[in-house]
Each structure stands twice: as structure tokens, then as C-alpha cells.
Structure 1
Amino acid sequence: MSGRGDGGALVQVERRRNWSDEEKLAILKETTVPGVVISAVARRHAIGTGQLYTWRKQLLRGAIAGFVPVELTASSPSAKAREAGRIEVRGQCGLTVSVDGEVDRAALKQVLDVLRELDH
């Protein structure tokens, strides 16, 4: 709002924007570049820094369906990974989590949450 000389007020109405998951992820990727200033990224996209931190939290928690990126590689799996029911999850931080069908789901979720945090 800004004042007018006649005592009235000018009101500017802004519509709420809906960002797609892909747009959010692209903006968040900009904030991970070494040396980047997060407030500059926010200004460039006309959003607040608080919004970026909220999106980052949502990404870490996997709260938005389809928001967490997955990268598939063409490398050959190790002998352990070929065992029936065994999977390996490799984090960008260099850690690998290997589990089989006998894993406790709650424990696995905690381990994967820690791995996600280490990747950022």
C-alpha cells in the first residue's frame, strides 16, 4: 500500500503463483552452486528467501511427490547388488547403503533421511 494525496490508498493485488516441482527443483539447484548468494537467487525469481528454505526442507523430507530427483546410471551392479531382493542406494556424498528384503522399514527410513541430509 502506498499513500495518496487525497487520503485514499492504492492497493496492489498480486496473485499467488503455483510453481511446478520441476521449477522448484531448478531454482533450488541454482542455490547449490558454490559461491552463490541465496538472496540473489530469490530476487531473480521474485520470491522470498524463506520460500527457498521451505522448498529445501520439503525436498529433504520428500514431502512433495516427484520432487526428489533420481539419477540412473549405466554402470554394472556389484555382485552383492545382484542377489535377489538386495538394493543399493548411493548418495552424492559417497556413501552407499545396501539392504535386503529383511530390513526394518523404520530403520531404513532413518538411514535414508541421514543420507539425504549428507548429500546437501
Structure 2
Amino acid sequence: MDAHEDTRRIQVLSVSDTGRRRRWTDDEKIRIVEESHGGGVTLAEVARRHDISRSQLYDWRYRHKHGLLGAMPQFLRVLQVADCSGPDDVPAPPAPVLTIDLGPRCRVTIPSGFDMEAAARLLNGLMVRP
């Protein structure tokens, strides 16, 4: 007789349903992320404790690290410039600032207190049209 005939052919798996989709506030996410950075605790333990996946916690940690979690977006004033023939076309913002000319019709002015990582993301996503 073959050994495979003595083994169980059907295996019963239990499935647990969590119900509805959960919503986490930014404050709750930040609290969980800060808990995951605590000493003596693993990321898997924190995820298990709060009944979330490790990948979800990794995503929250990434977003928290890059200022995308719980931070209110900062906006710059955008002015349409008809003709950029001289520096007097756009009113001068309060100094000190960083002004970047991206062509004859596009100029980005960044105030000194603005988050430079956010400015880099803005400039990387900016498409200049001819």
C-alpha cells in the first residue's frame, strides 16, 4: 500500500471575517507609527496588536517619514504671467525666497519657511507646456 492513502485528503481552513472596512484617523495612524518605532517591540507585534497588516504599517511609516501623514498641505500663490519680458511683471514676494525660472512663461517662487522636500515634489511633478 502507498503511504499517500493514509494521509488526509481534505484540510479544513478557518476563515475569519473582520466585517466592514475600518477607517483610521491621522492621529491614530501617527500614534501607531510612533509605537512601532519604540524600543523592544517589532513591527509585526505592533501590526498584530492593532489588527492591521505589516504592509499597511510600512506604508504609514513611509508616509509619516516623508511628511505625508497628518500634515496639512502648504500651497503657494500662483500667478499667470502674460509676458515675462522683465522682472517687474510679478510683484516681489517678501525676502528671503527662492525663485526658479522654468522658461519664458513659468516662474516658481518658494518662501524661505516652506518645506524643501515638498517643493522638490512640486517641481518634480510640474510639467512645463510649450
Q: TM-score range by the shorter chain?
A: 0.3 to 0.5
Q: Report the TM-score when normalising by structure 1.
A: 0.47
| Bigger CA radius of gyration | 2
